[in-house]
Copies of this chain bind each other. A is one copy, B any other.
């Protein structure tokens, strides 16, 4: 049985720093879920935040244990909406998966979005078999399927949009 990560060991951080770029890349690569292009996008979001600050629209939440980032989320308000937010990324370093860290990050993200007067959180993923754990995770977190766009990513690979009203 896996040893649960105790709350006492966990440190939360919101402000990104330069060293996060490399660690974010390591974490998203380690998950094995994302294509090379997608991993690049994950890094670009933190780069844009570092360059433009909060006006980038990208909010981060990092979870660290023993001064090393173990997981993170990136989210932000959807431009042109009143109270709708996108959860762009949520990822946990592969060797730390299975300890419930993803659920803790999600809970914290939802609390932050509620503080920002968010009403809805959207998250997107692929219909492919390899993303079954991702879809199960969102469903476990209370997200409902709102739409499925056929062949969106590539022929046979649909985009599924989940939403949670908060």
Residues on A lying within 8 angstroms of B by beta carbon are: 35, 37-38, 41, 78-84, 119-120, 122, 146-155, 161, 163, 165
The reply to whether B149 and A161 form a contact with Cβ atoms under 8 Å apart is yes
Q: Measured between alpha carbons, how far is A154 from B148 in the docked complex, in Å?
A: 21
Residue on B with the closest CB to A84? B152
Q: Measured between alpha carbons, how far is A38 from B80 in the docked complex, in Å?
A: 6
Partner of A147, one of B120, B146, B153: B146
Given contacts A84-B152, A146-B149, A146-B150, 10 further A-B contacts (CB under 8 A): A35-B80, A80-B153, A81-B152, A82-B155, A84-B151, A119-B155, A120-B151, A147-B148, A149-B163, A151-B165
Taking the closest CB of chain B, its distance from the CB of A148, in whole angstroms, is: 8
CB-CB < 8 A to A152: which residues of B? 78, 81, 84, 120
Q: Measured between alpha carbons, how far is A140 from B37 in the docked complex, in Å?
A: 35
Q: Measured between alpha carbons, how far is A120 from B35 in the docked complex, in Å?
A: 21
Taking the closest CB of chain B, its distance from the CB of A29, in whole angstroms, is: 16
CB-CB < 8 A to A149: which residues of B? 122, 146-147, 161, 163
CB-CB < 8 A to A81: which residues of B? 152-154
The reply to whether B37 and A80 form a contact with Cβ atoms under 8 Å apart is yes
CB-CB < 8 A to A35: which residues of B? 80
